C-alpha cells in the first residue's frame, strides 16, 4: 500500500543521479534501409518510458540495440553511464520481455524463470526458491511444473515477466508485450505492469504502437517516425502540445487546419491543430455561421460514449468533432447538412512549418 501511495517520492529518492540509458547519435542500417537514424535520447532512472510509433518506425530496433541483439552502425549506448555499445546481450544488465514471450518450450515454468539464475551459477535450491517467489508474484504460484504450452497467452506473458525480473535487471525492456492479448486482458495488464513498475522502481522501456496504451502507462513517451524521434515528453505534453503534424495525428485523432485559416483567424501563417473533443459543433442557424466556421457533414460514426461527426470545410479541409452522448446532440446532425464549427482560443496548438 505504501509503495502504491507514494511511488513518485520513493522512486526519486532511490534513483541514481545519471540517466539509466543514454543514446547518442544512435544509427542502425540494414543494407540500404536505415532503421534508426541518429537517435539521441536519455531515459531517466526509474521511469516508465514508452517508445511509440507505427510499425517500421524503428522503435523495436532501438530496443534491440539497447538489449544487444543488434549492434549499432554508429553511435553510443550508455547504460548507467558506461558505454555498452559493443557488448554482447549476456554482458548487459538489461532484460527483455519478448513480443512472442520466447519461453523455453522444453522447460517447466519454474525452470524457465530460474534460467537466468542457473546460468549465473546460483545454487539449485536458492534459484528454485527465488523462481517460485517470482511466479507467486505474478499469480502463477500453483503452476510451477506446467509447460509453457499448457498456458494461455496472458499467463505466458506473466511468466516472461517473472523470468526477466527474477534476475533484477537495471532496466526492463518490453517489446509490445500486450499486443497478442484481448482488450480486457490488455487493459488489466496495463494496470498491473504500471503498479509492478512503481513497486520495483526499475526503469521500464515499453515499445508499443498503441497510443492509448502509451498515454495511460508512461511517465514519458518518445514518439518515433521513420527511424527518428519526433517528440519526447510527458503524456500530457505529447497529447496537448504535439510539436508537429505527425505527432498530432499519430497520438489520437487531430484536426490539422492549414496556414491560410490561421492567417484569416489569428493573423498567423502557421498550420494548427485542435483535438476533436475540444471542438464545439452546432447546427447552422438561419442567420449564418456567426463566430464559427461553416462545414458540411460527411459522416456520422456512433462510438458508444460519443458520436464522431466528420465534415468538410469550404476550402476542402476535413474536420472531425466528437459530440458526447450526454450532450444528446448527435441527432441534430445529418450527412449532407451544414453545421458550424468553433473552438476556444486556448485549444489551438500551433504546428511548426513542415521541414
Residue 201 carries which DSSP code?
-
Q: Residue 118 interacts with another protein (CB under 8 A)?
A: yes
Please identify, among the stretches 12-20, 77-85, 91-99, 296-304, the one whose residues bind another protein according to the rule CB under 8 A: 91-99
Interacting residues of 46 by C-beta distance below 8 A, sequence separation 6+: 11, 12, 14, 15, 20, 201, 202, 203
Please identify which residue in 30, 69, 302, 350 interacts with another protein, judged by CB under 8 A.
69
Q: Residue 300 interacts with another protein (CB under 8 A)?
A: no
Please identify, among the stretches 34-42, 85-93, 202-210, 336-344, the one whose residues bind another protein according to the rule CB under 8 A: 85-93
Q: C-alpha 338: how far from its chain's center?
A: 37
CB 128 within 8 A of CB 94: no
Q: Residue 96 interacts with another protein (CB under 8 A)?
A: yes
User: What is the smallest separation between the CB atom of 253 and another protein, expressed in angstroms?
Assistant: 34
User: What is the smallest separation between the CB atom of 116 and another protein, expressed in angstroms?
Assistant: 4
Q: Residue 130 interacts with another protein (CB under 8 A)?
A: no
Q: Residue 267 interacts with another protein (CB under 8 A)?
A: no
Please identify, among the stretches 112-120, 224-232, 310-318, 333-341, the one whose residues bind another protein according to the rule CB under 8 A: 112-120
Q: Residue 102 interacts with another protein (CB under 8 A)?
A: yes
Q: Residue 90 interacts with another protein (CB under 8 A)?
A: yes
Among candidate residues 207, 157, 200, the one with its CA nearest the CA of residue 43: 207
Q: Residue 120 interacts with another protein (CB under 8 A)?
A: yes
- Give every strand in the sheet of 220-225, ordered side by side: 94-97, 171-175, 203-208, 48-52, 220-225, 228-233
User: What is the smallest separation between the CB atom of 23 and another protein, expressed in angstroms?
Assistant: 19
User: What is the smallest separation between the CB atom of 118 and another protein, expressed in angstroms?
Assistant: 7
**Separation in Å, CA 268 to CA 89, 122, 260, 264:** 51, 66, 8, 8
CB 296 within 8 A of CB 336: yes
Total number of residues that touch another protein (CB under 8 A): 25
Q: Residue 98 interacts with another protein (CB under 8 A)?
A: yes
Please identify which residue in 9, 32, 106, 184 interacts with another protein, judged by CB under 8 A.
106
Helices 183-200 and 153-165 sit at what angle, rounded to 10 degrees? Answer: 10
Cell 451544414: give the residue: 338
CB 46 within 8 A of CB 203: yes
Q: Residue 119 interacts with another protein (CB under 8 A)?
A: yes
Q: C-alpha 60: how far from its chain's center?
A: 12
Classify strands 171-175 and 203-208 as parallel, antiparallel or unpaired. Answer: parallel
117 vs 131: CA distance, rounded Å: 9
Q: Residue 95 interacts with another protein (CB under 8 A)?
A: yes
Please identify, among the stretches 87-95, 217-225, 269-277, 292-300, the one whose residues bind another protein according to the rule CB under 8 A: 87-95
User: What is the smallest separation between the CB atom of 90 and another protein, expressed in angstroms?
Assistant: 5
User: What is the smallest separation between the CB atom of 187 and another protein, expressed in angstroms?
Assistant: 25
Binding residues among 131-190 for another protein as defined by CB under 8 A: 163-164, 167
175 vs 64: CA distance, rounded Å: 9
User: What is the smallest separation between the CB atom of 277 and another protein, expressed in angstroms?
Assistant: 39
Between 104 and 302, CB nearer to another protein: 104
Among candidate residues 60, 47, 57, the one with its CA nearest the CA of residue 21: 47
User: What is the smallest separation between the CB atom of 217 and another protein, expressed in angstroms?
Assistant: 22
Interacting residues of 127 by C-beta distance below 8 A, sequence separation 6+: 114, 117, 118
User: What is the smallest separation between the CB atom of 84 and another protein, expressed in angstroms?
Assistant: 13
SS3 225: strand
Contacts with another protein by CB under 8 A lie at 67-69, 88-90, 94-96, 98-100, 102-106, 115-116, 118-120, 163-164, 167
Amino acid at each position: 500500500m505504501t509503495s502504491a501511495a507514494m511511488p513518485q517520492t520513493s522512486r526519486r529518492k532511490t534513483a541514481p543521479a545519471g540517466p539509466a540509458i543514454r543514446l547518442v547519435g544512435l544509427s542502425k542500417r540494414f543494407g540500404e534501409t536505415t532503421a534508426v537514424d541518429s537517435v539521441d535520447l536519455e531515459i531517466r532512472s526509474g521511469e516508465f518510458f514508452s517508445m511509440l510509433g507505427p510499425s517500421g518506425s524503428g522503435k523495436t530496433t532501438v530496443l534491440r540495440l539497447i538489449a544487444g541483439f543488434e549492434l549499432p552502425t554508429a553511435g553510443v549506448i550508455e547504460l548507467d553511464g558506461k558505454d555498452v555499445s559493443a557488448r554482447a546481450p549476456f554482458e548487459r544488465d538489461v532484460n527483455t520481455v519478448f513480443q512472442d514471450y520466447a519461453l523455453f518450450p522444453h522447460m517447466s515454468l519454474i525452470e524457465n524463470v530460474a534460467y537466468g539464475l542457473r546460468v549465473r551459477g546460483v545454487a539449485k535450491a536458492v534459484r528454485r526458491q527465488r523462481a517460485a517467489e517470482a511466479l507467486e508474484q505474478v499469480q502463477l504460484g500453483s503452476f510451477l511444473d506446467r509447460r509453457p504450452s499448457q498456458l494461455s497467452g496472458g499467463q505466458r506473458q506473466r511468466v516472461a515477466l517473472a523470468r526477466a525480473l527474477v534476475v533484477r535487471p537495471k532496466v526492463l525492456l518490453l517489446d509490445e508485450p500486450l499486443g497478442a492479448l484481448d482488450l480486457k486482458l490488455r487493459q488489466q495488464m496495463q494496470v498491473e505492469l504500471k503498479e509492478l513498475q512503481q513497486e520495483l522502481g526499475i526503469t521500464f522501456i515499453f515499445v508499443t504502437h498503441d497510443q492509448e496504451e502509451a498515454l495511460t502507462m508512461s511517465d514519458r513517451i518518445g514518439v518515433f517516425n521513420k527511424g527518428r524521434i519526433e517528440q519526447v515528453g510527458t503524456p500530457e505534453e505529447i497529447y496537448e502540445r504535439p510539436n508537429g503534424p505527425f505527432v498530432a495525428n499519430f497520438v489520437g485523432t487531430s484536426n490539422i487546419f492549414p496556414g491560410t485559416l490561421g492567417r484569416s483567424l489569428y493573423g498567423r501563417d502557421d498550420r494548427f491543430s485542435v483535438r476533436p473533443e475540444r471542438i464545439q459543433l452546432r447546427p447552422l442557424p438561419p442567420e449564418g455561421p456567426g463566430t464559427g466556421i461553416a462545414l458540411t457533414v460527411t459522416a456520422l460514426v456512433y462510438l458508444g460514449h460519443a458520436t464522431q461527426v466528420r465534415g468538410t470545410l469550404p476550402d476542402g479541409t476535413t474536420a472531425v468533432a466528437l459530440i458526447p452522448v450526454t450532450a444528446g446532440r448527435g441527432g441534430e446532425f445529418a450527412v449532407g447538412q451544414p453545421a458550424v464549427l468553433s473552438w476556444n482560443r486556448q485549444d489551438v496548438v500551433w504546428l511548426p512549418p513542415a521541414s
